[in-house]
Structure 1
């Protein structure tokens, strides 16, 4: 196989997983996001990179957002929302974050493959994205599958962009109105 064939295989895998996304879960996610006074986002590894891209677009939409752990992140309060991206829902640092948020009366929404995970049980909302967690590396004979959770991480990025498109429609935003909030000191 070559790069072109691998790319086509990746896109097919993501398409097969995308049709399994539950719109009701996504709508609940959007509702919670829109009600939040401030939105904190966090993920680890490549899921963390995807959620940082989502935070950036939420900022462009006019939401008050922070990446957890950044020095400019404000104190969390009731009415705020923590969005965690974790395929397994078991990453130790993210479990600790979810527990601390719940103890602070801050709602948690989890984007995951495992709604029954520790974080999933703590969360007030869950958006399930199909895929394979990094510990499940057994490929079925003749089946295309990416290793180590790549399909989940890629689907996160695409789903976050799909949520942004839905928010743009709901909020009457355009690329031009969002660009007015884009960083000008880069």
Structure 2
């Protein structure tokens, strides 16, 4: 097997193993949260933001009232609405500030993260833990390794789950 195919096979195995470890119950709750929401706004920074921006488009294609935060067409959130956040660390400051503001307006919070014991996870209504490796990992997640750089595994799994 050539080097590229071997590397791709390893990456596929990492993604499969990571997604297999995601709680079915948490994903089912996330789906329920999404389907029962009025407006849906997705928020994340960096490459996680790219994954959730694509997720917002997918949700709109499914007929849901979904937006990515910061766009000129993004409406304000309130009771009955949902903010979906992606943060591997669970402590991204810009996203944390957006979550606090949304929750003050009565919005529910759905979080995708590596860290179930983080500031965002503590305030979220639903948490989907993606047990990926990351340089920011703490606790048991710190022991995980990946052939991929930085938090690529988290971002790929986030993209697939959305």
Normalising by the residue count of structure 1, what TM-score does the alignment of the two structures yield? 0.79
Residue 150 of structure 2 aligns with which residue?
148
CA separation in 2, counterparts of 1:63 and 1:13?
Answer: 31
Match of 1:21 in 2: 22
Please report how far the alpha carbon of residue 64 of structure 1 lies from its aligned counterpart in structure 2 after TM superposition: 0.3
> Counterpart of 2:27 in 1: which secondary structure?
helix
Structure 2: where are the runs of 5+ without partners?
Answer: none
Q: Secondary structure at the match of 1:5?
A: helix
1:8-87 equivalence runs, <5 A: 8-87=9-88
1:119/1:144 CA distance change after superposition, 3 Å: closer
* 1:104-135 Cα distance to aligned partner (Å, 9 max, x none): 11111001111211111111001111101233
Shift of 1:102: 1.2
Structure (1 or 2) with the larger CA radius of gyration: 1
> Where do 5+ consecutive residues of structure 1 fail to align?
161-186
Aligned partners of 1:144, 1:109: CA distance in 2, in Å? 26
Matches of 1:51 and 1:38 in 2, distance apart?
Answer: 15
CA distance in 1, matches of 2:82, 2:136: 29
Q: Hey, what does 1:94 align to over in structure 2?
A: 95
Q: Is the 8 A contact 2:112 2:128 kept in 1?
A: yes
Deviations 1:127-158 (A, max 9, x none): 1111012335xx98xx6532211101011111
Contact kept? 1:17, 1:129, Cα under 8 Å: yes
Distance in 1, matches of 2:136 and 2:106, equals 32
Provide the TM-score with structure 2 as the length reference: 0.90
Runs of 4 or more, structure 1, over 6 Å off, are none
What is the CA–CA distance in structure 1 between the aligned matches of 2:124 and 2:146, rounded to whole Å?
Answer: 32
